[in-house]
């Protein structure tokens, strides 16, 4: 079983699909430099991007005033029934409130977008790696992920599991459903119960995944629900000590299942070209 797992791992590592999946958007060293540069730039350019935002705000105020001049309900006072007049006044106030909220929101988004664009220009000018989520990334977490990727390529079971989870969550690396399940299946073959349970969930459509693109959603759908494979991997998870798998199997009252896709089958499916 271990030789099959190692063969499957070698097959996976040689694939273009794996190389793309394991490519981080930014390294920990680059992230540290970029975060420091971002802090320095932000302190020195607190008002950068404000001009466009103010233009939109002033334009919005002008448009709102024009609307109030043209469609002022007070001109109708006395010429229409009171209930209609007060209804129009209420609608006018609500419309003004909605327009003010829209203008403020648009102005704020423009401010953020302008700052991001200026920051990107600054990074390019100074030969730094630009990444939009730079403020959201934790350096220690990225370092750990780098270590897990490296160790998983050496068949470290825990790292295979952690890398698989990272590819499903898509927080520090781009989501890749197929490769995540392939890694989990290899970890399961090497004795990791939670990984086996992940594979079982994949064949039952139960995994909670962060889809960043239509392509990954289609990859998720390409893992068809397969009862035989679901039971097969549940049994493997149970054998490895998964209590959740045991409960699910007990509910189904199934004694054994010999069919189901193997680790090699899953890896081949994960790396095949669409």
User: Would 145 be classed as within a structural domain?
Assistant: yes
User: Would 131 be classed as within a structural domain?
Assistant: no
Domain identity same for 8 and 141 = yes
**What is residue 38's predicted lDDT score, i.e. its pLDDT?**
86
Domain identity same for 78 and 143 = no
pLDDT exceeds cutoff 50 at 13? yes
Domain identity same for 151 and 259 = yes
**What is residue 77's predicted lDDT score, i.e. its pLDDT?**
57
163 vs 224, residue with greater confidence: 163
Q: Show which of 125, 158, 185 is a domain's final residue.
A: 125
Q: What is the pLDDT of residues 97-132, one digit of tens each?
A: 888 899 999 999 999 888 888 888 888 888 887 776
Tell whether pTM > 0.75.
Answer: no
Residue spans of beta strands (DSSP E) within 31-174:
none
What is the spatial distance between Cα 218 and Cα 177, in angstroms, rounded to a whole number? 9
**What is residue 74's predicted lDDT score, i.e. its pLDDT?**
63
**Residue 84: pLDDT band by 50, 70, 90 thresholds?**
confident
For residues 136-162, average pLDDT = 91
pLDDT exceeds cutoff 60 at 1? no
Q: Show which of 125, 147, 164 is a domain's final residue.
A: 125
User: Would 34 be classed as within a structural domain?
Assistant: yes
Domain identity same for 44 and 16 = no
User: Would 130 be classed as within a structural domain?
Assistant: no
What is the spatial distance between Cα 185 and Cα 263, in angstroms, rounded to a whole number? 5
CATH assignment of the domain containing 164: 1.25.40
Q: Show which of 100, 125, 150 is a domain's final residue.
A: 125
Counting the structural domains of the chain, the total is: 2
For residues 254-259, average pLDDT = 65
For residues 196-211, average pLDDT = 86
- What DSSP designation does 264 have? H
233 CA to centre of own chain: 26
Of the chain, the percentage scoring pLDDT greater than 70 comes to 90
Domain identity same for 189 and 97 = no
Mean pLDDT comparison of 66-75, 226-235, 254-263, highest-scoring range: 226-235
Domain identity same for 267 and 234 = yes
Domain identity same for 147 and 163 = yes
DSSP calls for 185-197: HHHHHTT-HHHHH
Of residues 195, 265, 267, the one with CA closest to residue 237: 195
For residues 155-183, average pLDDT = 91
User: Would 87 be classed as within a structural domain?
Assistant: yes
Domain identity same for 15 and 99 = no
**What is residue 267's predicted lDDT score, i.e. its pLDDT?**
93
Structure tokens at 35: 């975060």
- Domain range for 42 is 30-125
Q: If you average pLDDT over every residue of the chain, what do you get?
A: 85
**What is residue 274's predicted lDDT score, i.e. its pLDDT?**
46
Domain identity same for 164 and 230 = yes
Could you tell me the sign of the dihedral formed by the alpha carbons of 130, 132, 135, 137, in that order?
negative
Query: Using CA atoms in the order 222, 225, 231, 232, what is the torsion angle rounded to 10 degrees?
Result: -20
User: Would 209 be classed as within a structural domain?
Assistant: yes
Domain identity same for 80 and 145 = no
User: Would 14 be classed as within a structural domain?
Assistant: yes
User: Would 132 be classed as within a structural domain?
Assistant: no
Q: What are phi and psi of 44, to 5 degrees?
A: -85, -15
pLDDT exceeds cutoff 70 at 142? yes
Domain identity same for 163 and 259 = yes
In the chain, how long is the greatest CA-to-CA distance?
91
Domain identity same for 167 and 252 = yes
For residues 174-202, average pLDDT = 93
**What is residue 273's predicted lDDT score, i.e. its pLDDT?**
64
């Amino acid at each position: 079983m271990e030789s099959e797992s190692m063969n499957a791992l070698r097959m996976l590592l040689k694939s273009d699909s794996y190389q793309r999946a394991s490519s981080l958007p930014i390294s920990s060293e680059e992230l540290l430099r970029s975060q420091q540069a971002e802090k320095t730039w932000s302190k020195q350019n607190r008002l950068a991007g404000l001009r466009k935002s103010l233009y939109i705000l002033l334009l919005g105020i002008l448009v709102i005033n024009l609307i109030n001049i043209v469609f002022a309900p007070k001109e109708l006072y006395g010429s229409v029934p009171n209930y209609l007049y007060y209804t129009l006044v209420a609608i006018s106030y609500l419309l003004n409130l909605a327009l003010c909220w829209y203008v403020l929101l648009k102005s704020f988004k423009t401010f953020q977008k302008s700052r991001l664009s200026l920051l990107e220009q600054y990074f390019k000018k100074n030969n730094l790696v630009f990444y939009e989520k730079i403020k959201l990334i934790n350096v220690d977490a990225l370092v750990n992920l780098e270590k897990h990727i490296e160790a998983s390529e050496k068949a470290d079971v825990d790292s295979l599991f952690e890398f698989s989870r990272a590819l499903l969550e898509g927080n520090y690396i781009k989501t890749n459903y197929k490769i995540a399940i392939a890694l989990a299946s290899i970890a399961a073959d090497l004795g990791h119960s939670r990984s086996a349970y992940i594979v079982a969930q994949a064949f039952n459509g139960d995994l909670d995944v962060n889809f960043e693109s239509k392509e990954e959603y289609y990859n998720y759908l390409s893992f068809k629900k397969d009862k035989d494979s679901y039971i097969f991997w549940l049994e493997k998870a149970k054998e490895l000590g998964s209590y959740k798998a045991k409960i699910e199997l007990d509910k189904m009252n199934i004694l054994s299942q010999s069919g189901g896709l193997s680790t090699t089958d899953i890896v081949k499916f994960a790396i095949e070209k669409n």
